[in-house]
Amino acid sequence: MASAPPGADDRPRGAVSVEQSPTPVPRTKSQSLGTLLFVWGGAFSFLASLAYGVTFYLGPLGRTIPMRSWADEAEAVATNIVLFTLFAAHHSLMARARAKVWLTRVVPSHLERTTYVWVASLLFLLVCWLWRPVGGELYRLEGALAWGAVGVQVTGVLLTGAGVHVLNWSELAGVQAARTSGELVFSRGVYGFVRHPLYLGWMLMTCGTPHLTGGRLVFAAVSALYLLLAIPWEERSLVAEHGESYERYRARIRWRVMPGIY
């Protein structure tokens, strides 16, 4: 998260869209103010975690600190891996169909997505707050090379935004219920380029930096590794959910994340 971005789950990122508009979260006269606050609070937590993640990447992760002893650096890296694994475990496991069914036994079905968003957003914030500084600096680009790297990151931002537009940000944030009916349409927008454009966008944003510190290296490497490991698992779920439609999409769009590579 979309990665992807935090709060974006592993539901059909494989370019699933529908012809009809998504159904809003059911609202009745008896719906409490607390429910509305919970739904919109979840959306706010989703956006806030994204904003804080950008600030964290540009700020603390962008600071070069002196290398400490190997033991201290190894401890910091191990701690960060554990933190991100906690976020990743929820991000993937709770996006599975069985987990969603279990969750609806605890919360109303129309609040399942919002509950997921709340937990995912808070876990991502926790990762950022508890992240241990990692020393060292691998490179610092200057001039045209630096601007080229920034261009890579901007491309990642635009690609991610285009992918979110296809999936509908309000649905990702839990404001609208997931689309469950209508004719499935694959290859729409950036999903006709690669099967997981949100993942590609994330990698371009985190890896395409003109200034690679030790902290940014660990953050980019751990998150990219998680996304690459999650893709086969995610696609098995998509095949189980959409059957031949997704199989045809996979046959038509060859590359998962990186054209010509993977």
Note the pLDDT tens digit of each residue in 23-58.
444 444 445 888 888 889 888 999 999 999 999 999
Amino acid at 32: S
For 33-252, give the CATH class: mainly alpha
Distance CA 164, CA 179 (A): 14
- Helix 197-207 to helix 143-167 angle, to the nearest 10 degrees? 150
As a whole-number percent, the residues of the chain with pLDDT over 90 amount to: 57
Three-state secondary-structure class, residue 139: strand
Give the model's pLDDT for residue 187. 64
Average pLDDT over residues 78-99: 92
In the chain, the amino acid numbered 187 is S
> pLDDT at position 238, please?
86
Q: What is the pLDDT of residues 150-168, one digit of tens each?
A: 999 999 999 999 998 888 7
- The pLDDT value recorded for residue 180 is 52
Which of the pair, 182 or 201, is modelled with greater confidence? Answer: 201
* Domain definitions of the chain by residue range: 33-252
Q: What are phi and psi of 67, to 5 degrees?
A: -70, 140
- Dihedral over Cα of 60, 61, 67, 70: its sign: positive
Residue 254 amino acid letter: R
Name the average pLDDT for the chain: 85
